[in-house]
Amino acid sequence: MIRMYSDESLSLWNREKVRVQLLLPGQDRPMGYCDGTDEDEEEIRRMAREEGVEHLSIHKKYLKTGREIWTLGDMPELDPLVDGDE
């Protein structure tokens, strides 16, 4: 079950009651939270298709706590001038 971002869902994340935080590239606030089941992933892909995204990439980061952070969509290219690599 996808829980969209709210004070209540943030509280569940903080108390470790949900396993996965859903992020969108370039956004400071999470999109939402879920338990990380196959059904959750399919629901995310269905939501993306409804928004017109045919091939959604999901980058999964596994934390030492056993929880995960999923970044939905392509990661933005880094600009070397902005990132201070010059």
For residue 23, pLDDT beyond 90: yes
Question: Checking DSSP bridges between strand 3-4 and strand 68-72, what pairing results, if any?
Answer: unpaired
Give pLDDT tens digits for 26-74: 899 999 999 999 999 999 999 999 999 989 999 999 999 999 999 999 7
For 71, the 3-state DSSP assignment is strand
For residue 86, pLDDT beyond 50: no
Q: Which CATH number fits domain 3-74: 3.40.1000, 1.10.8, 3.90.1070, 3.30.70?
A: 3.90.1070
Q: DSSP alpha helices (H): ranges in the chain?
A: 7-14, 38-50, 80-83
Domain-wise residue ranges, the chain = 3-74
Residue type, 34: C
d(CA 56, CA 12) in angstroms, rounded, equals: 26
pTM for the whole thing? 0.83
Rounded mean pLDDT, 65-85: 73
Residue 28 is classified by DSSP as: S
